[in-house]
Structure 1
Amino acid sequence: MENILGLVALACGLIVGLGAIGASIGIALMGGKFLESSARQPELINELQTKMFILAGLIDAAFLIGVAIALLFAFANPFVSTFLVNLPK
C-alpha cells in the first residue's frame, strides 16, 4: 500500500515538474520569437501580441491540465481502490 502511494507521489511530482519545464521552455521560445519578429516588422506588433497572448494561454492551459491530473491522482487516487479490491482475503 505504501509502495503505491509513494509511486503515485513520485508520478505527481514528475507530472507537475516536467509540465512546468515544458511550459516555461515553450513560453520562452515564443517570447523570443515575438521579440525577434516585432523588431523585424514593428507595424505588426498589435497582431503578433494578440496571437502571442492566446498561445501563452494555451500553453499554460496544458500545464494546468497536468496539475489537475496530478491533484486527481494525489487526492482521489483510483489505484488505491483497485489495490484494495485485489488484496487476498
Structure 2
Amino acid sequence: MPKKVTVKNSKSKKKPKAKDKEKEPDLKEKLKKRRNKKSFEEAHIRVTTYLEKSVREKMELLKDKGMIDSYTQLINLSIKHYIAKHLD
C-alpha cells in the first residue's frame, strides 16, 4: 500500500492583508458609534396628523422614484426648512 502524501495548501493559511489591517480601525469606530447611537424611539417622537390626499400621492411618487428615503425624512427636512425661513 502506498504512503499517504499530504500537500500543504498555501491558501489555507491566510495572512492578514494590508487592506484587512486598514479596515480594522474603521470597523472599531463604526461599532463604537453604533453603541453610542440612540435608538429610533429615543431620537424621535410620534406625531399623528392629516395630509391632503394630493400631498400624500406626491410623497408616494417621490418615494417610488427613490428621491426620498422615507416620509419621516421628508417631513423633518420640510419642517426644518420652514422653521429656518420663518423663525431664524
TM over 0.5, shorter chain: no
Q: Which structure's residues are more often helix, by fraction?
A: 1
Give the TM-score range, shorter chain.
Answer: under 0.3
TM-score by length of structure 1 reads: 0.24
Normalization by structure 2: what TM-score? 0.24
Greater Cα radius of gyration, structure 1 or 2:
2
